[in-house]
Amino acid sequence: MQRRFITICIIVSVVLPSLTYASASKFNLVGEYPSLSSYSFFYADTTEQLSKLSFLFGSMFSYGYEPLKVYRSNIRVQDGMNHLFVEHFYTGLGITSWWQLGLDLPVAWFYQYGNVDTLRSDIKTNAAISDLQISNKITFLNKKDKIVGLGINACFNLPTGKSADFLGDTYPVGAIKAIADKDISKHFGITLNIGSEFRQQVDSNNISFGNRFLLGGGVDIKPVDNFSVLIEGDVKTPFNDFFKTSNSTPAILVAGLGWRPKKAPLNVKVGGLWGISSGSGAPEWGSMLGVNYIYRKKDRKVKTSDVTKPIVKKFVVHFDFDRTVIVDNEAGKLGDIVEILINQDFKRIEINGHADIVGDKVYNHNLSKKRANKVWECIMKRSPEYLSNIKPTIKSFGETQFTGQGNKYDRRVEIIILQ
């Protein structure tokens, strides 16, 4: 219920301020904002979330050649923007295990453009900010636990940029994207983004658009651990001119490489992009270089003199009869376990599987073992880069240790963290 209420509030806060019927002749050429997922694509969103109270800091340089071209009577008369060199400064904060807040402030360090009204060219300038983006990403289904991950990303752009130089919009712009992603295997993952952009009408020479349909996605290929080959695509088209006019439908193709060191919470990406239909926000070609760092809050180390006995945290995950699948209302406990294992110091972790007394003893023993292994497998999938070195003690007790509360409570896995 809490997740639904927050989702509705975010959607309303993004859409309502963006609903304006005013028209403008200028628009923001910084059309692509980096994805704030910790280890993922350049621009495509995934359902991956930062853990609670974790921070992400990052910067990405991008260069675009001819992101704006001016045509009159179908004849090209001027390069509206010849060169655009932008650096994004962004940060993300994990509010909960399913809600992430992000901020992105782009700075155009250099841009060369022509006046699209007077056709005066070779105007050069530098160091100007673009529109500030505020993003809220909410995950409904975690791809590590389910067949597919599902979520939304609601973004709101404040008109802080210089609209006269095509570095900002005149009015606020909102966008909502639905996210679906899946890890096909440990070496291959995909994501799909579909949504809408809510904005003022833009009429600038050969370019005309208002509210737009958004479509994007990507493929993440991991030939080896900590190394990715990234392929992405993105297109925006007006609802009232659906894929009919290329001048108003910017589309790009992105390819690059991602690398993250094994012993540092860093992610480095380098790549290039090509304009499939360029000149209205999508450059003919461009390049990107980005790096981000994840800070996870660490608790103070506990000294032996501070306590007289160890601190034990215990979680219990229950199962349906004769099943090893973790049901929805139990999967949320795994996020709390992951946060403790990542953010706090501990001595060891024990995972004990149990079964009820129905059925054969040998069968129940094997069933409890499968349940314990399933729990650790799901925990590992949530953050393999930080948990791969942890070696838990996994035991199966079958039906030998019952709770006395009935079979429903005997079908369980106990996770014990000794701090």
* H or E element at residue 396: strand 393-396
Is residue 181 within 8 A of residue 47, CB to CB? The reply is: yes
Is residue 154 within 8 A of residue 11, CB to CB? The reply is: yes
- Measured CA to CA in angstroms, residue 344 lies from 56, 301, 348, 417 at distances of 18, 8, 12, 11
Q: Does residue 66 or residue 151 have the better pLDDT?
A: 151
Nearest CA among 249, 228, 231 for reference residue 239: 249
Same domain, 78 and 216: yes
Q: Compute the average pLDDT of residues 369-374.
A: 93
201-204 β-sheet, strand order = 23-24, 201-204, 207-209
Mean residue pLDDT across the chain: 83
In order, the DSSP letters of 204-270 are ETTEEE-SEEEEEEEEEEEEETTEEEEEEEEEEEEGGGTTT-GGG--EEEEEEEEE--TTSSEEEEE
Same domain, 58 and 157: yes
Sort 289 into a burial class: Cβ within 10 Å, 0-12 / 13-18 / 19+: middle
- Looking at residue 76, what is its pLDDT? 55
Q: Is the pLDDT of residue 298 over 80?
A: no
Of the candidate ranges 268-282, 287-301, 405-419, the one whose mean pLDDT is the lowest: 287-301
- Looking at residue 131, what is its pLDDT? 93
pLDDT band at 399 (very low <50, low <70, confident <90, very high): confident
- Looking at residue 221, what is its pLDDT? 92
Number of domains within the chain? 2
First-residue to last-residue Cα distance in the chain: 33
- Looking at residue 145, what is its pLDDT? 65
- Looking at residue 311, what is its pLDDT? 62
pTM of the complete model: 0.71
**CATH code at 324?**
3.30.1330.60
Q: pLDDT, tens digit, for every residue of 318-366? A: 999 889 888 888 888 888 888 888 877 777 889 999 998 888 888 889 9
Same domain, 77 and 183: yes
Q: pLDDT, tens digit, for every residue of 71-130? A: 655 555 555 778 889 999 999 998 887 889 999 999 998 877 665 555 445 566 678 899
Q: Does a structural domain hold residue 14? A: yes
Q: Does a structural domain hold residue 396? A: yes
Enclosing domain of residue 341: 312-418
Q: Specify the 3-state DSSP secondary structure of 97.
A: coil
**CATH code at 120?**
2.40.160.40
Same domain, 357 and 414: yes
Helix axes 328-343, 361-382, angle to 10 degrees: 60
- Using a pLDDT cut of 90, give the percent of the chain over it: 35
Q: pLDDT, tens digit, for every residue of 23-76? A: 777 888 888 899 987 667 999 999 888 877 888 899 999 999 888 876 655 555
Same domain, 15 and 160: yes
- Looking at residue 117, what is its pLDDT? 53
Of the candidate ranges 232-236, 284-288, 305-309, the one whose mean pLDDT is the lowest: 305-309
